[in-house]
């Protein structure tokens, strides 16, 4: 967020159950989780005097093959399964951003990006797993790292695949009156 002139007052990780609900579409999973994280963060912020009138921003990213939501890989086995599922095929990445204004107004944006990976050899999968950068990442990969070499095609927002769609996030904040420091625009 600093790269676009947003300096958060606090970073407060929200602990929410990220299990998809039965029959829930991947897009809806991302939207619900971003909202749930924002609500959980708002409750934490309300207990801190200096944050009671803060803008609350939360996001979530979901990777899906068809209607199947891939996990945020926590084990090598999960990551390997994710990589095998996206190998040589297209998948979708849904990144949702949820904003709660100091007045309690809720605003949300969702970005869908299509990504296609090359066919991954077993050696490529094993090497990537050995890197460890898949840990906790939606779909078991971090496109901003080594997995960027696997992406044959990306249609949509690169920053959304990384985890936060910057264009949509900045516009959401500016639209609600958040003082984004756009001084970097004048430097160009």
What positions carry a catalytic annotation?
60
**Which bin fits 109, alpha (ψ -120 to 50), beta or left (φ > 0)?**
beta
Cα–Cα dist 93/5, whole Å: 25
Q: What are the distances in angstroms from CA 174 to CA 99, 103, 186?
A: 11, 15, 17
Report the SS3 class of residue 16. coil
């Amino acid at each position: 967020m600093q790269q676009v002139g947003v300096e958060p007052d606090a970073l407060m990780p929200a602990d929410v159950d990220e299990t998809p609900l039965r029959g829930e579409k991947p897009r809806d999973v991302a939207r619900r989780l971003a909202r749930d994280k924002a609500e959980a963060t708002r409750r934490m912020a309300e207990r801190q005097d200096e944050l009671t009138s803060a803008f609350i921003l939360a996001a979530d990213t979901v990777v899906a093959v068809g209607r199947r939501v891939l996990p945020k890989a926590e084990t090598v086995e999960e990551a390997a399964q994710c990589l095998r599922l996206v190998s040589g095929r297209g998948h979708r990445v849904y990144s949702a951003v949820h904003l709660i204004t100091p007045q309690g107004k809720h605003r949300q944006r969702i970005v869908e990006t299509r990504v296609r990976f090359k066919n991954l050899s077993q050696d490529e999968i094993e090497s990537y797993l050995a890197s460890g950068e898949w840990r906790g990442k939606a779909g078991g990969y971090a496109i901003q790292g080594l997995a960027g070499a696997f992406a044959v095609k990306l249609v949509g927002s690169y920053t959304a695949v990384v985890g936060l769609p910057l264009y949509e996030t900045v516009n959401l904040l500016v639209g609600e009156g958040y003082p984004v420091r756009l001084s970097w625009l004048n430097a160009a």
